[in-house]
Amino acid sequence: MEQHQDNSQASNAAAPKVPNASKAPKVSKASFKKTFRLYKYIRPYWPMFSAGMLLLFITSLSNLAFPKLLGDLVDNGTHSKNISAINHTGLLLLGLLFVQGILGYFRINIFVRVTERSLASLRQQVYNHLIRLPMSFFLNRRVGELGSRISSDISLLQETFTTTVAEFIRQVIIIVGGVALLVHTSAQLTVLMLGTLPVIVILAWFFGRVVRKYSKQAQSQVAEANTIVEETLQGILNVKAFANEFFEMRRYQNKTSEVAKTGIKTGTYRGAFAAFMILGVFGAIVAVIWRGAVLIAMGSLQPGLLISFVLYSTFIGASVAGLAEVYATIQKTLGATEHLLEILDEPAEPITDSALISPKDQLSGEISFRHLAFHYPSREDLNVLQDISFEIQADQQVALVGPSGAGKSTIVSLLLRLYEPAGGSITFNGRNAGDFPLSALRSQMAIVPQDVFLFGGTIRENIAYGKPDATTEEIIAAAKQANAWEFIQRFPEGLDTVVGERGIQLSGGQRQRIAIARAVLKDPRILILDEATSALDSESEKLVQDALEKLMEGRTSIVIAHRLSTVRQADKIIVLDKGRIVEQGTHQELLTVDGGLYKSLSEMQFTH
């Protein structure tokens, strides 16, 4: 189809704008501010989320009671030898564990509920926005990459919303509260313990940046690998027809190997950091125990206090190490957030519900092209259309003919307002196209393309796409008018026959007639036929052509055709070449033009 050619010209001219994976955005207030934009999806569940945060705060503080109680337990056994005090402390510890278990259960349950509902809202918002974006956005993006944004990137956010934020808060509380209790227990040992903290914090910051860089790179590489899978499975017929299985296997192997290499680099840095944490944190604990043992020997410290101090130090060390992990996860989240926000920040088309069309927006079928010019946004220097002017009266049949690349399908794209003209205008009923609501305009048009796209569901669902609330009787009537009912009845499941991915279970002629039935059901005021019979055999073409003639009755029709035999009866034929109108008139009028392009094309076709 020519539209594919036009689109490919634009996309080849400007390479796909896949985000630069290797260049990680700088962690800044702006980065975190972007991430917190996503927390608006939690807002409807704020009371529940606040309850979860309160439980988190209580359980985190209660953790700090364990070292103190364990130290008391040791001192009761060492000095007072009071069995009653030992039992009392032991029961307190058991009670604390029980309360923590109960509160922990409710906290996790609350956060999971809030997260799942919030991410469902986010997925819906991203998809709803994505589907409303203009065609110019999709020219430079690949389907697999966009699919990965909705699946992989939001899955990363799921982990962050569910556990990462809670872990971050819990560990901060333990670190701050633990340090305060360390000072209270032994200021001398605290100074020794905290000597390593600045070094650990600096290294956590450094390693976090590196991990974030490679994590974001891996995300983009996974998206590219997913694109290869999606494209090859969608085009599996071409893959097999060209015997390119091994080519595609190598392509996927190379991309997944890149993902593995990036993951190994990430693991190397994380491993180095973990090794340092073991050496730094636990080395500091050994030093503290050694110094504490000296203080006990000198009579300056009770054994129970040393036990408490060591446990507090262990809690703090584990929390600092965990904080580094949380920080690395937040790095990944920032990358995923930026990808999603790139999509959400794209300006969407002003789509409205087209179920009710205002009387003033009803189309009469009259169309006027006035000095129309167009170039794709990515190639402003390449004019696809120049100074296109012609009139279409209501209920006329107008044909657009000309060589491939002449701009025929581009005119259709502009008619549907998939793109905006670079110059000139299109009017309906004498009003500028831009004055009509976009959805109202498109809902009164239907297109039957050469390359019919069928969804993977049933024949019923594909026909009903023209009118989702259609009854079975309406669907059958449309199928009959499209000459499709006869072959549909032959299937054991009839209308409920599954057509397979892109309609692979049906022949080309059958797919074409399903598309015509879809257009019949829509009952458009303006019908666009884009090479609707060019890829069919003679028998299928006759059936399809008959269905199209029924469909064109009583409505404005615009027919793009290479086979001039299909447009002889058109009220007007527009001949295009290199983005300009070179001739226009009826079939008979154009045959009288000596040296004319239409006459030349006609002679070439009808003499073979």
* Whole-number Å distance between alpha carbons of 109 and 541: 61
The residue type found at 97 is: L
Q: Directed axis angle between helix 303-344 and helix 245-277, to 10°?
A: 150
Q: What is the pLDDT of residues 153-180, one digit of tens each?
A: 777 776 666 667 777 777 788 888 877 8
User: In the chain, what are the domains?
Assistant: 29-344 (1.20.1560.10), 445-523 (3.40.50.300)
Angle subtended at Cα 143 by Cα 137 and Cα 145, rounded to the nearest 5 degrees: 95
Reading the block at residue 488, the tokens are: 């549909």
According to the model, what pLDDT value does residue 10 have? 38
According to the model, what pLDDT value does residue 496 have? 87
Residue 561 main-chain phi, psi, to 5 deg: -150, 140
Contact (CB, 8 A) for 328 and 184: no
Q: Directed axis angle between helix 472-481 and helix 508-522, to 10°?
A: 120
Judged by phi (left if over 0) then psi (alpha if -120 to 50, else beta), residue 307 lies in alpha
Burial environment of residue 84 by CB neighbours within 10 A (0 to 12, 13 to 18, 19 or more): exposed
* Whole-number Å distance between alpha carbons of 553 and 353: 28
* β partners of residue 445: 526
- Spans of the chain, pLDDT less than 70: 1-39, 75-82, 144, 158-163, 193-194, 196-198, 200-201, 204-205, 208, 277, 280-281, 321, 324, 328, 331-332, 335, 354-355, 378, 501-503, 532-541, 605-608
| Rg (alpha carbons) of the chain, rounded to whole number | 35
| Size (the chain), residues | 608
Contact (CB, 8 A) for 376 and 364: no
Count of helix runs (H) and strand runs (E) in the chain: 24, 10
The residue type found at 385 is: L
The residue type found at 379 is: R
Residue 374 main-chain phi, psi, to 5 deg: -155, 140
* Whole-number Å distance between alpha carbons of 108 and 94: 21
- In the block, tokens 């054991």 appear at 492
* β partners of residue 596: none
SS3 state at 428: strand
Please choose, from the candidates 211, 237, 238, 222, the residue with its C-alpha nearest in 3D space to the C-alpha of residue 326.
211
Chain centre distance of CA 360: 36
Reading the block at residue 521, the tokens are: 């059901």
* Whole-number Å distance between alpha carbons of 110 and 121: 17
pTM: 0.64
According to the model, what pLDDT value does residue 507 have? 79
* β partners of residue 575: 401, 583
Reading the block at residue 475, the tokens are: 């669907």
- Would strands 445-449 and 526-530 be described as parallel, antiparallel, or unpaired? parallel
